[in-house]
Amino acid sequence: MLLFRRVLSHTAAALLAASLVASCGSTSASTPPSAAGSASAEISPQRVVAQAYRLIAERHLNEPDFRKISVETYRGFAATDPDLSLQTDGRIYSVMRGGKEIVSRQAPNDPADGKAWGAMLAELFTASIAASPTLQHADRNALTKAAMVATTQQLDKNTRYADPDEARDNRFQRDGGGGIGITIERTKDKKVMIIAVQDGSPAGKGGIRPGDQILEIDGENMIDRPLIDVVHKLRGPVGAPVSLSVLRLSEGRQMTVLLQRGRIIPTTVTYERDGNLALIHLAGFNTATTDSLAQAIDKARADIGPGLAGIIVDMRGNRGGLLDQAEGVAELFVGDGIIFSTKGRHPDSQHTYRSESHDWSGDLPVAVLVNGNSASAAEIVAAALQDRGRAVVIGTTSYGKGTVQTVVRLVNQGELILTWSKLVAPSGYTWNELGVMPNVCSAKIANPDTIGPSAVDANQALLRRWHAERDPSAQEVADLRKICPPSAEAPQRDLEIAADLLHNPKLYAEAVRLGSIDQAAAH
């Protein structure tokens, strides 16, 4: 499974059919489940780290140097016992406790040999546990997590470890699972409130409404329980019953309903009509996103009719999702040709993704909204539609996550989310760290009503420079990102600018042309 990073908000929006987290993927590289639930505690840190080292050596974007990584892995593992330390001269690795050597091993000859370094660390771990009462009484999952976090921090900012509980949530978010189809949040006064109910879900069919407060699940009081506990209580096998007691504040009454869990996939696409425009909010990329977006476009056509003047795809705050869904979404707008490419060390990480004339949207004008929190899969779509001259991108420079992660299920049912390739736009640039620059930088437009050719033309030279970059230095990246600084805001003026451009065919066409491959190639 290939992913881009997607961050789950701690404050709210836990979609109880699934709590979305994760990023972009198309191929699966998972170890068959060998344990479940609490059985993961029986899996030793030695096994998990040894497996992770082999995967890092084989698949990471950059060839690893385990001489340095192994030191940090051990330090993370042994952090709870201050009497333990690892000493090395680069050839011999010795574990000391209280000034006394308890084990010593010769380093493997090849600093990139993950199997050999993992085996050496396993011996150091085993000897350390035998010598340390602190480690003997420590939770095995906690030791594993400490070692794995220390390991991934040495690689890149997007490689990370998910412990078994987080990994379970990740899988639920990507693929869906048994739930009732509600979104909840905890309010400032600590109430667990339902803020959205999916159409056709068990909760919707059972009469549950947004604004209901959750009181009990299967007879257990949920008022003071952590939000994640409430999420897990609502999940379960498809078809299994769950009793939900809620307080309907609007009616001042309590009600209890017996629901049957269904297969729920988090909602990532919502459509609303804005006059003769279709406003589509794209919040993430999971297994249902492409189909949901196609349905939204069809709904807009039926709703607005022949007068449909264009589509606004709002991806502000969209942190990513599955790689194949980014491809699918781009194909809904782009005809034949390249959408994006990936490049990495592993042969399977090198691929060119092409559209096959799906172009579900026909020749409808398209405006894409991005901001500084639009990342990974969202950037794939924005870069592809901009480069191919299929949409005008509006907002601020995007996040700049131009790498792909492969997600591997580990023997303890945790996950290693491992960076293994870089993304390349159709014009040839990679937006990693750099981001996607909009055709129209809305931050520089004080009054959307005054948008004209000057606002569109202002970025022409800058876009050409942006698309010409191949391996910019950190300083060059910083300088370029200052041109249209990334912002976490999602201002109304972005929508107003998009509407003005879509209602001005001549200006829209010019804005699209200035960001396309053809324009870049002409210079």
Q: CB–CB of 412/164 below 8 Å?
A: yes
What kind of fold does domain 177-264 have according to CATH? Pdz3 Domain (2.30.42)
For residue 297, count other CB atoms closer than 10 A to its CB: 23
410-428 pLDDT, tens digit per residue, is 999 999 999 999 999 999 9
CA distance 160 to 223: 33
**Which parts of 262-336 are beta strand (E)?**
262-264, 269-274, 277-282, 310-314
The pairing of beta strand 310-314 with beta strand 253-260:
unpaired
Asked if the model's pLDDT at residue 268 lies above 60, the reply is: yes
CA distance 274 to 294: 18
Residue 357 pLDDT level (bands cut at 50, 70, 90): low
Between vectors from CA 235 to CA 1 and to CA 141, what angle results, nearest 5°? 60
Task: Assign domain 269-521 one CATH number from 3.50.50.60, 3.90.226.10, 3.40.1440.60, 3.40.1390.10.
Answer: 3.90.226.10
Residue 520 pLDDT level (bands cut at 50, 70, 90): very low
392-408 pLDDT, tens digit per residue, is 999 999 999 999 998 99
At residue 423, the pLDDT reads 95
Q: Could you say which of 401, 427, 442, 494 is catalytic? A: 401
At residue 87, the pLDDT reads 95
CA distance 166 to 412: 12
CA atoms within 13 A on the CB side of 372: 11
CA distance 31 to 48: 12
Mean pLDDT across 170-197: 86
Q: Could you say which of 26, 132, 376, 427 is catalytic? A: 376
Residue 471 a catalytic site member: no
At residue 16, the pLDDT reads 28
Asked if the model's pLDDT at residue 50 lies above 60, the reply is: yes
Q: CB–CB of 92/105 below 8 Å?
A: yes
Locate CATH 2.30.42.10 in the chain: 177-264
Asked if the model's pLDDT at residue 302 lies above 80, the reply is: yes
504, with CB counted inside 10 A (0-12, 13-18, 19+), is middle
CA distance 469 to 481: 13
Residue 7 pLDDT level (bands cut at 50, 70, 90): very low
Q: Which two tokens stand for residue 136?
A: 């003997």
Buried b (16+ CB within 10 A) or exposed e, 142-158: ebbbbbbebbbbbbbeb
Mean pLDDT of the chain, nearest integer: 87
Q: DSSP letter for 32, please.
A: P
DSSP string of 361-405, one letter each residue: TTT--EEEEE-TT--THHHHHHHHHHHTTS-EEEES------EEE
225-240 pLDDT, tens digit per residue, is 888 899 989 998 999 9
End-to-end CA distance of the chain: 39
Locate CATH 3.90.226.10 in the chain: 269-521
Three-class secondary structure of residue 9 per DSSP? coil
CA distance 434 to 82: 41
What are phi and psi for residue 226, nearest 5 degrees? -55, 150
Q: What is the pTM of this model?
A: 0.80
CA distance 13 to 283: 12
For residue 102, count other CB atoms closer than 10 A to its CB: 16
Between vectors from CA 376 to CA 501 and to CA 161, what angle results, nearest 5°? 160
DSSP string of 151-172, one letter each residue: HHTTT-TT-EEE-HHHHHHHHH
Helices (H), 26-65: 45-59
Q: What are 258's strand-pairing partners?
A: 243
Sheet holding 269-274, edge to edge: 269-274, 277-282, 310-314, 366-370, 392-395, 440-441
73-132 pLDDT, tens digit per residue, is 999 999 999 999 999 999 999 999 988 999 999 999 999 999 999 999 999 999 999 999
CA distance 92 to 104: 7
Q: Could you say which of 163, 169, 324, 387 is catalytic? A: 387
Residue 23 a catalytic site member: no
Residue 422 a catalytic site member: no
Q: Which two tokens stand for residue 414?
A: 């945790």
Buried b (16+ CB within 10 A) or exposed e, 192-222: bbbebbbeebbbbbbebeeebbbbbbeeeeb
